[in-house]
Structure 1
Amino acid sequence: MTECLPLTAAGSAEESWTERMLCRLYDPELWHAPELLEEGRAICGQCPAIKDCAANTLRLAANSSERLSGMWAGVDIPEATKGSAYRNRLKRLKHVAATGTQLPTRNRRSRVAV
């Protein structure tokens, strides 16, 4: 089972933004079960605390020896994500922290030979 990291230290100045998080109102499984991630991403996209969530997630990633996994500020980080794929997810989080918006996802359609 994946270890859950706390969002903030109790009593910290950052604690107030966690009160605005929409995810507090939903089942935590929305951010970890692959079949529910789209629903979780939609909720994150409407969250008034998405910038703070992304910034806090980047701090967690920088200060942890463990790689993060799950949905963070609307960015899906699968448990097995490594190397450049993990760095790309962190880059997406930096964009969310700076802008409060998601980078558009690319539609990768396979090319079919005619």
Structure 2
Amino acid sequence: MRTGSMKEVIDEKQKRAARYAKAMGHPVRMYILDLLSRQTCCYSGDLSNELPIAKSTLSQHLKELKTAGLIQGEIEAPRIKYCINEKNWAEAKQLFKSFFKL
């Protein structure tokens, strides 16, 4: 017989790793992360030129990555500059590395 609740079983690291994994769970988002991890920053317009998807769809993918904390956006009117959130990117890599060593 089990005792306790999910809150007692799931720790903060697992929650953060799951959030990062969810945000990374689409090939377009993986492409964006790969691209941004290899360069300093990228403007949303440049990403629109790279990817054959509607701007609204790209915007949704960027929003998901930003909400998860994997990227950050900075408005430089009329464009938005996106970069990897270095702190959270390092944390995500460490969390996944630890997980896969199990």
TM-score by length of 2: 0.30
TM-score by length of 1: 0.29
By percentage of residues, which structure has more helix? 2
Larger relative contact order (Cα-Cα within 8 Å, sequence gap ≥ 6): 2
